A and B are shown apart, each in its own frame.
Chain A
């Protein structure tokens, strides 16, 4: 029998072998980078210091100390992984949960997943804030949230002495949801200040919308009172406040927004829910930048463009599709689709620098260039060529202090769909990640602009929170005044050693003062050169100005995110905060030089509005893209290769960027050789297949000529295939389902495919133009 099996067994071909080993290697280097990165030592340190603190806290009783060290340590170490501490679950003596949200004095907030506790924290002052325990659970919970807000870490520990709660009232804290808690606390503070009501009254009355569910989603009036009370201890800890926004809210319920009672759900705009690109989303502004053609390298062997790490177009499309509409073709930017996928490129390692780099390898290794090419699954006879850049990662502890100016649009349009609430909560996420070295200022604009908060250290977090919570929609939109005010503040408080950045939160609708970008671009450009960058956060669906926001961000050395729900906000402000805040390369350009003997035609997918003239590649005055720490940039090309090109160089990728610290320009380069091109796309990395699928998806959505025969179903199948071999297929599965949604809408509406006869290209991919 063994012989039988031996005779008929399958063998790996050398190339298959190589493909698998390549994957293994990639996985390994990825893991290695984990061990070598800040996360490992820092999470060890977090565990150790938590140990220390627990020990100090309980040293009065040695018996207790031993018990607690054992029972508390596991949750603390878990916290370093999934952001949650739940003492209640582990120890019968504890009532509550540790709140990660506010950064109290004595607690150093470092990153999404570590909380470092300064062992020197004077314990007595923290316990001093502890109120006398109340007997009534609901009241107690609110009172505690009031008073413990300043010292939540201590809070949880000191509560060890308190009697255990009723079984039903102990609620598990899950991860970053504690954000909701601090947010609710701030709202509560604002309320009690405004209304002059006592806490007890609040907890008795059905009025306060303290629970997340209440806050965003449900109508609170007419709810039976006992429900409210039952939920009160849960306040801020309800299951998911991502869900809260992802679900179409039935009603806008919030103290600030109370005037507006709208029960239609969203899309909450003129025209109600009329579907698809018509009146439902009444005033969306997009601009179509055309589609790159195939180019013969003998005509132009260089493809030069500025990098783009934004992903707003993808998020926006998702938002459209989830509302049951296809996005307008001009809202779809292929490069942003591809960039919103996770690639897990290995970060640069200094050891790597010797290999493959022909051009002035930079000694500090700012980028790792990853090249991969395989037959294109969608273009007959074409090769899909992926250029992937991975910026170096910066440990959270090494992040420079942030000097942020929030410029928040509080115009009437921000009242729609809870946009302002989304912004507030997003900013709370951001606050959660900041520490005492950071500073924040707050400018708002409606009809006029005003400074709500001058630059304030995070030491006074509570003041900042109160300022954010106090924002209310008002009047018209004077974006120009807001930005001018914001930049004025930022320039005043400019700090050479910090990351100076404007965080603009808007739906982009401007109707007073500047209504298109050009007037203020000068100011922005000047400040950008000085080192004040801009991050634009776009919110809102219904009337939304993509063009304005993208232009602002480009000009302002910044990045642009479209935030459609809290999950996305978390991505931008929690998971990628260091990348969002700290730029590692400015004015980054990519130039790919195709070898004309090997390549017959090439086409760059996307990046149409990032085009840079070939001759300007080394022109330092030309503004280009910024890359944040750990960011990934991906560009895809389709190439038609010469049949004889089986060996030797095919294309050389150069990147040029300015180091933001030294101002020095650096180039790095790497060459793709014909023998590196995989023979089958199946052998490619799953993320490569995913990119191909997503690019095809975007190409079809934007009615590209090159995808005129493309089928969404094929893209979906490929995406599904790729997602199967991914480690964390969650994002990939989202793509699969989005393509599925688009497919349904597509078959229902049968949109016109490619129509402009005058741009019909000279050359078709099927055509063999051997010379």
Chain B
């Protein structure tokens, strides 16, 4: 992406200068998708909220390092993934030290759709390896290119592609789905 033509860069510059309106714009544009990304990633709404907060706080601190490569949302998603990972580390450490956390997977959320299918999706996501889950979520849900995913996850484009595809296949297997027609179409699209 041409960084000069990237409107996000302009927004980020204003945000870095402490322009609250710019931050509001960034926030409004990104919160919903980042939140669902985190909720999928963590499997827990409450934690997703906490981590989303941390993500913005951390973005405020680091906005100066956004250079306009890729969209601002992708940059934020990178932070979100990173924050989620460090949350998970703390969670695991804590669980080792003390009794297991009372909160089971996802308690409160009242989203649309079939709750049973939703529960299965959440459970299936927890079965994936971290990298596969990241790649699947970033690709399938956020719709980022593999180049973007690679730079978010700190891998090469090819590795990101491999993780995303393997993750998706694993997810399908776990959900017992046959490849949906739209998935096949998107497969074609990516190969092109």
Contact = CB atoms under 8 A, between A and B. Distances in A.
A10 B45 contact: yes
B30 to A, nearest CB: 11
Contacts of A5: 36, 40, 121, 137, 140-141
Interface in B97-151: 109, 111-113, 117-118, 121-122, 137, 140-141, 143
A32 B56 contact: no
A1 B183 contact: yes
Contacts of A28: 18, 20, 23, 60
A10 B180 contact: no
Nearest to B121: A8
B2 interface: no
A1 B140 contact: yes
Contact of A24 (B60, B122, B143, B186): B60
A24 B168 CA distance: 34
A302 to B, nearest CB: 36
B27 A21 contact: yes
B118 A1 contact: no
A16 B49 contact: yes
Interface in A9-31: 9-12, 16-17, 19-21, 23-25, 27-28, 31
B111 A9 contact: yes
A31 B18 contact: yes
A660 to B, nearest CB: 32
Interface residues of A, number: 30
Interface centre among B45, B48, B49, B52 (most CB of A within 10 A): B49
A10 B35 contact: yes
B36 A24 contact: no
Contacts of B117: 7-8
A319 to B, nearest CB: 26
A1 B20 contact: no
Contacts of A19: 49
Contacts of B141: 2, 5-6, 9
A132 interface: no
A4 interface: yes
A640 to B, nearest CB: 26
A16 B35 CA distance: 11
Given A1-B182, A8-B121, A23 B40 contact: no
Contacts of A260: none
B18 A9 contact: no
B60 A724 contact: no
A11 B56 contact: no
B113 A8 contact: yes
Interface in B23-40: 23-24, 27, 31-32, 35-36, 39-40
A226 interface: no
A27 B60 contact: yes
Contacts of A725: 50, 53-54
Given A2-B143, A11-B35, A11-B36, A25 B20 contact: yes
B89 to A, nearest CB: 12
Contact of A11 (B23, B46, B111, B140): B111
Contact of A10 (B60, B109, B183): B109
Nearest to A1: B140
A27 B118 CA distance: 34
Contacts of B32: 11-12
A479 B189 CA distance: 85
B49 A20 contact: yes
B57 interface: yes
Contacts of B45: 10
B57 A31 contact: no
B183 A24 contact: no
Given A3-B182, A9-B40, A10-B36, A17 B31 contact: yes
Nearest to A21: B27
A727 interface: yes
Contacts of A23: 53, 56-57
A1 B121 contact: no
Contacts of B121: 4-5, 8
Contact of A8 (B35, B52, B53, B111): B111
Contacts of B60: 24, 27-28, 31
Contacts of B36: 5, 9-11
A24 B118 contact: no
Given A21-B27, A27-B60, A724-B50, A7 B18 contact: no
Nearest to A683: B49
Contact of A9 (B39, B87, B94, B143): B39
Interface in A395-428: none
A678 to B, nearest CB: 13
Nearest to A36: B18
B118 A20 contact: no
B135 to A, nearest CB: 12
Contacts of A10: 35-36, 39-40, 45, 48, 109, 111
A359 interface: no
B90 interface: yes
Contacts of A2: 140-141, 143, 182, 186
A172 interface: no
B50 A27 contact: no
Nearest to B171: A1
Contacts of B49: 12, 16, 19-20, 682
A480 B23 CA distance: 58
A35 interface: yes
Contacts of A4: 121
Contacts of B118: 7-8
Contacts of A9: 36, 39-40, 111, 141
A680 to B, nearest CB: 9
Interface string B73-96: 000000000000001001000100
Contacts of B182: 1-3
A32 B17 CA distance: 9
A1 B111 contact: no
Nearest to A5: B141
B55 to A, nearest CB: 9
Nearest to B36: A9
Contact of A727 (B57, B168, B186): B57
Interface centre among A23, A24, A727 (most CB of B within 10 A): A24
Nearest to A34: B18
A720 B91 CA distance: 12
Contacts of A27: 56-57, 60
A6 B117 CA distance: 13
A274 to B, nearest CB: 32
Nearest to B102: A717
Nearest to B179: A1
Contacts of B52: 20
Interface in A536-565: none
Contact of B18 (A17, A32, A682): A32
A682 to B, nearest CB: 6
Interface of B: 18, 20, 23-24, 27, 31-32, 35-36, 39-40, 45-46, 48-50, 52-54, 56-57, 60, 87, 90, 94, 109, 111-113, 117-118, 121-122, 137, 140-141, 143, 168, 171, 180, 182-183, 186
Given A5-B141, A24-B27, 8 more contacts: A1-B183, A2-B186, A5-B36, A8-B112, A23-B53, A25-B20, A28-B23, A682-B49
Interface of A: 1-12, 16-17, 19-21, 23-25, 27-28, 31-32, 35, 682, 720, 724-725, 727
25 contacts: A1-B140, A2-B141, A2-B182, A3-B182, A4-B121, A5-B36, A5-B40, A7-B117, A8-B122, A10-B40, A11-B35, A11-B36, A11-B111, A17-B31, A20-B27, A20-B53, A23-B53, A27-B57, A28-B20, A31-B18, A32-B18, A682-B46, A720-B94, A724-B90, A725-B54
Closest 8 CB pairs of A and B: A9-B36, A10-B39, A5-B141, A7-B113, A8-B118, A1-B140, A24-B56, A32-B18
